[in-house]
Amino acid sequence: MDYTLPAEHESVVNIQGVDISLGFPDEFAFEWIGQKDVMDQLLAAWLVIDKKDIPLNPRLIGKPGVGKTTLAYAAAKKIDRKVYIYQCTMDTRPEDLLITPVIDKNGGIRYVASALVTAMIRGGVCILDEANRMSEKSWASLAPLLDSRRYIESIIAGLKVPAHPEFRICITMNDDASTFEIPEYIHSRLQPQIYLDFPEEEEERRILKENLPFVEEEIMEYIVAFLQKAHKANENYTVRDGINVARYAAKRLESLKENNPDASSLFRQSVIMILGDDAMTYL
């Protein structure tokens, strides 16, 4: 297929005589502050070095909250691509991943492209988030996209849709939250595997300050000390948890500021309310 990128404002494209409604890109103020090495690994996987070459389909693996989606989003922005995020669940169906028929206001049927197919058509980046929650049936619908064929087949719309040459994909997986086993023929298509670990202390401090510039230094230091102690015990508390605790502690301090509250006491209370009693071990 001689592929032409649809205009940025174009919300409907015609493929093989069928009108397909496209989705819109995701826009966030995400910035990657973590390890430069994993960013370089991801960008290398997307690189095309010859006209006969194709991009790889990298898989980001790590505990929930370590920044897998943030990394993928920041990498896409680094190569100046629009980003389309699809949140996978255990009941994701093949048609959810590809093209879905819906009833329009006139009672007719129109076809709506998923975030994945929109990215394929527009030449953007699709992030399949928490993809190890999907069943094999859903994975099977992606098999031809993830190898040298680079297309999807929509049985519902009766279409074969090739990916634009600029299309890139990234899959994120939590290493402790797999609902289904990934079939072997898919494993071999999701390469390379890039592992994200907990950030080092200074990185963690920078991430917290970037996300919560309005939070007092005292709370930040409590959070960093708490997280680093939890990491050493291989506990699953992440920067995301730290951000939630710090945000709530800051709100509590602000709401009680006329009473000169004790910051350390409010921090401990916030940890319990956000993470539960077990987290007190690391205070």
Domain at 101, CATH number = 3.40.50.300
**Cβ pair 59, 173 in contact under 8 A:** yes
| Helical (H) or strand (E) element with 252 | helix 239-255
In a domain, 3, yes or no: no
Which tokens is 122 given?
């527009």
Residue 177 and residue 257 in one domain: no
Residue 50 domain-assigned (yes or no) = yes
Residue 168: inside a domain, yes or no? Answer: yes
148 residue type, one letter: S
Domain boundary among 195, 210, 239: 195
Task: Classify residue 4: in a domain, yes or no.
Answer: no
Residue 164 is classified by DSSP as P
Q: Is 96 exposed, middle or buried, given 0-12, 13-18 or 19+ CB atoms closer than 10 A?
A: middle
- CA–CA separation, 180 and 46 (whole Å): 27
Note whether 233 and 247 are same-domain residues.
yes
Q: Given 163, 195, 227, which residue is the final one in a domain?
A: 195
Q: Phi and psi of 101, rounded to 5°?
A: -80, 135
Same domain? For 170 and 237 the reply is no
Cα 99 from chain centre: 21
Whole-number average pLDDT of the chain: 90
d(CA 75, CA 168): 11
| Boundary of a domain, candidates 195, 226, 249 | 195
Q: Does residue 53 share a domain with residue 128?
A: yes
Structure tokens at 39: 């960013």
Does 26 share its domain with 90? Answer: yes
Task: Give residue 150's Cα distance to chain centre.
Answer: 21
Is the bond into 192 cis (omega within 30 degrees of 0)?
A: yes
Distances in Å between the Cα of 226 and the Cα atoms of 181, 229, 268 are: 34, 5, 10
For the cut 80, the answer to whether the pLDDT of residue 4 exceeds it is: no
7 or 127, which is more confident? 127
pLDDT 10s digits, 142-175: 999 999 999 999 998 899 999 999 999 999 998 7
Secondary structure tally for the chain: helices H, strands E: 10, 11
Q: Looking at the structure, tell me whether residues 89 and 17 fall in a common domain.
A: yes
Which tens digits make up the pLDDT trace of 40-89?
999 999 999 999 999 999 999 998 888 899 999 999 999 999 999 999 99
Contact 30, 73 (CB under 8 A): yes
pLDDT-based confidence at residue 179 (cuts at 50, 70, 90): low
- Examine residue 253 and state whether it is found in any structural domain, yes or no: yes
**187 lies in the same domain as 247:** no
Q: How far is the C-alpha of 25 from the C-alpha of 262, rounded, in Å?
A: 44
Instruction: Please tell me the total count of domains within the chain.
Output: 2
Q: Does any domain span residue 105?
A: yes
Instruction: Using a cut of 0.85, tell me whether the model's pTM lies above it.
Output: yes
Residue type, 139: W
Looking at the structure, do residues 47 and 127 belong to the same domain, yes or no? Answer: yes
Could you list the residue range(s) of the whole structural domain that residue 226 is in? 201-282
